[in-house]
Structure formats: C-alpha cells, structure tokens
C-alpha cells in the first residue's frame, strides 16, 4: 500500500515559533517557510512569486498578502488560508467560498498585545517620552511637563475584544471610559465601568480617543477633519487598528494647527496607498507623534499565540474538521455557510 504523502503547509510570515512548527509536524504536515528578504512581507510578493510558492501546497499560513479570485483559481490543491491575524480586508471572502476553500483568522491571539500597545502609546504621549529623549540627545535636559493618564476620560471606538481589553486596563488608572460602537448591532458588547455614548459625545469629552474598529466601507475615514475638530485641543488620538479609519492628511493638518495635542500611530494609509507616503513622513517628523511600524500585535507572546491558532485552524481543515466558529470567515465546503456581516467576535 503506497505511503500517504504529507500535507504541505506554506508559511509566508516571519517569526514562526518552534512550538507552532512542532504542532504542524506532529499532525503530519510538511512545513515550508518562505524566505523573505530583509524588510519584506508577503504583501510585497508578486502573484507570480506567490503562485510559485503555493503550487503544491495544501494549507497557507499568511500575513498580509492579497487573497484574490485570480490567485485562488490557479491553486486547485490549496484547501485552507489561515491568517496570522484578525483583519481580513485583503481576503476576497466570496472568492474563497466560491472556490470551495476555507479562510480563517487567529481570533483571540493578539488581543492582549494590541491593548497593551494602545496603553503604551497613551502613556508615551502623555509623559512626552519621545520628545524628552530627543531633547536630551540634543543636550537639552530641561523638564518637559507631561500629563497623567490617571483620572482622564478615554474614548474607545469599537468595543470588541481589543477595545474591551483596553477598557479593563484603564480601570487601573481610575479613568472614565466612554465607548462608541460604529455599528448598532455591536452594542451588546458590554464591559464593566464603560459608558456607551454617541460619537460626537465621545469626541468632545475624551482626553484620549483610541480606535479599535475594523476597516469597512462605512468606517473608512471615520476620523476625518470634522471629527478631529470636535476633539479637545488637549486630546490625543491613538490608532492601533487600521490606517483607513483615519484621514491621515486631515490628521496632519489638525496636529500642525493645534486642533489636537498629539497622536499615537501604529497604522498608516500609506501601507496600502503610496500616495500618502509624504503624509506619513510628515507625521513621523512631528515631536507630538509616537509611531510604530504596524507592530502592535508583534510581541513574542502574541505571535506565538496567533501562530498556533493559525496552525490549529489549518490542521482542522486538512483533517476535514471545522475550526472554531469565531475563526472562520469563509467555508466553501458548505454552500449554506455565508458570512454576510462582521460578527462581534471578529472585531479587532
């Protein structure tokens, strides 16, 4: 009797940890990790490069590559696309379903990491950490007065898993926490000590506004020039969710004009639209901006969790099973399983 060939899994992400690799090996998978150039991500690979890597692959653990109908049509062997992350605006869900494949996300893996990152940005901006270091390097050791996070009002836009994690952390600062859900059907997400308000109230009363909503057609540019002008001139904007939630050009103007006091940015429009590159560079040059390169979820622990969840989802599909419902964004094996809207559990 011929020996059963191993299931082939391709990983196109860095920092795939030994434990997750061992999990795949232990479930009969042959794992190939793509060799990416320094600074390169799988979103930088051309379709031809992706097709060459994926030609004889059964499962794909992916980061930010675009999953298109054209790509999927040329990969008949591929059964499952497992995102090591939770956003899936780059996945053509309808095409996945039509191709009979399965697409999953790593729900719950990086919640704590991103929530920590949002708090870190609030503290860094309030205490002027980046500005103080830059002054000291230039020989200016004069004390730059900062502001406490303690006792402040923080507005959370999007109270999904990460937003709720931010709210819980803020309890330790005796903060007043306001929340706004961009979609009415998300209002069932409650957290102790959180006051649900409309967007105008949140913007007008918050000392910090932190974004934790997904990027959808109706949340794009949720924070535009009008929204920024509703904020306090002493307020700070934090975005660790998606670049398209904020009009970066309007944000730059608001910061230059003193309409708001500062911004903490882990995501930028220029990540997907190169015409915003100059805007990003101008934002990075400002002393009242704290910035990171879309690394809010990238801790050792967070990546280990998301790696393992993605691996578990891939193995489940290869075994003919169904991954946890919250992780499945498209299941083409079941024509009746249609994702029509973003469920609460899939919010960032």
3-state secondary structure of 265: strand
The yes-or-no answer on residue 169 being catalytic is: no
Q: Which residues lie across from 236 on neighbouring strands?
A: 208, 262
Pair of tokens at residue 173: 């600062």
Q: Which of 294, 300, 301, 305 is labelled catalytic? A: 294
Q: Which of 168, 157, 165, 191 is nearest to 111 (CA)?
A: 165
Are 330 and 102 a contacting pair, CB within 8 Å?
yes
| 104 backbone dihedrals φ, ψ, rounded to 5° | -130, 165
Place of tokens 């029509």: 340
Strand order in the sheet with 194-196: 194-196, 176-180, 153-157, 208-211, 236-239, 262-265, 289-291
Strand pairing category for 236-239 and 29-33: unpaired
Q: Which of 271, 321, 333, 345 is catalytic?
A: 271
Exactly one of 242, 300, 305, 321 is catalytic; name it.
242
Distance CA 37, CA 34 (A): 10
Residue 150 burial (10 A CB sphere; 0-12, 13-18, 19+): exposed
Strand segments (E) across the chain: 7-11, 29-33, 59-62, 80-83, 102-104, 153-157, 176-180, 194-196, 208-211, 236-239, 262-265, 289-291, 328-331
The answer to whether 39 and 324 have CB atoms below 8 angstroms apart is: no
Q: Could you tell me if 237 and 206 are in contact, meaning their C-beta atoms sit under 8 angstroms apart?
A: no
Q: Which residues pair with 343 in a beta bridge?
A: none
281 catalytic? Reply is: no
Sheet holding 59-62, edge to edge: 29-33, 7-11, 59-62, 80-83, 102-104, 328-331
**Any catalytic annotation for residue 89?**
no
Residues assigned a catalytic role:
242, 271, 294
């Amino acid at each position: 009797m011929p020996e059963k060939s191993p299931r082939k899994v391709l990983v196109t992400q860095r920092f795939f940890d030994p434990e997750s690799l061992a999990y795949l090996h232990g479930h009969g998978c042959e794992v190939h990790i793509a060799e990416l150039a320094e600074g390169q991500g799988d979103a930088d690979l051309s379709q031809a490069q992706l097709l060459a890597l994926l030609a004889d692959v059964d499962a794909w653990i992916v980061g930010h590559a675009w999953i298109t109908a054209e790509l999927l049509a040329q990969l008949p062997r591929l059964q499952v696309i497992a995102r090591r992350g939770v956003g899936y605006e780059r996945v053509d869900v309808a095409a996945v379903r039509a191709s009979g494949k399965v697409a999953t996300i790593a729900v719950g893996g990086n919640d704590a990491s991103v929530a920590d990152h949002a708090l870190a940005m609030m503290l860094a901006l309030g205490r002027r950490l980046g500005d103080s270091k830059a002054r000291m390097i230039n020989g200016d050791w004069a004390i730059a007065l900062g502001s406490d996070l303690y006792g402040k009002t923080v507005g959370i836009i999007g109270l999904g898993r990460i937003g709720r994690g931010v709210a819980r952390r803020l309890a330790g600062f005796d903060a007043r926490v306001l929340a706004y859900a961009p979609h009415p059907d998300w209002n069932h997400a409650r957290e102790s000590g959180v006051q649900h308000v409309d967007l105008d109230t949140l913007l007008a009363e918050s000392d910090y506004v932190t974004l934790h909503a997904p990027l959808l057609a109706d949340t794009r540019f949720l924070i535009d020039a009008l929204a920024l002008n509703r904020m306090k001139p002493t307020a700070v904007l934090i975005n660790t969710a998606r670049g398209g939630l904020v009009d970066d050009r309007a944000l730059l103007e608001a910061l230059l004009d003193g309409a708001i006091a500062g911004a903490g940015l882990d995501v930028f429009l220029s990540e997907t639209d190169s015409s915003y590159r100059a805007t990003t560079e101008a934002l990075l040059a400002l002393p009242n901006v704290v910035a990171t390169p879309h690394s809010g979820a990238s801790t050792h622990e967070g990546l280990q969790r998301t790696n393992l969840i993605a691996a578990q989802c891939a193995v489940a599909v290869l075994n003919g099973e169904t991954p946890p419902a919250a992780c499945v964004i498209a299941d083409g094996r079941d024509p009746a399983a249609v994702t029509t809207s973003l469920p609460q559990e899939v919010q960032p």
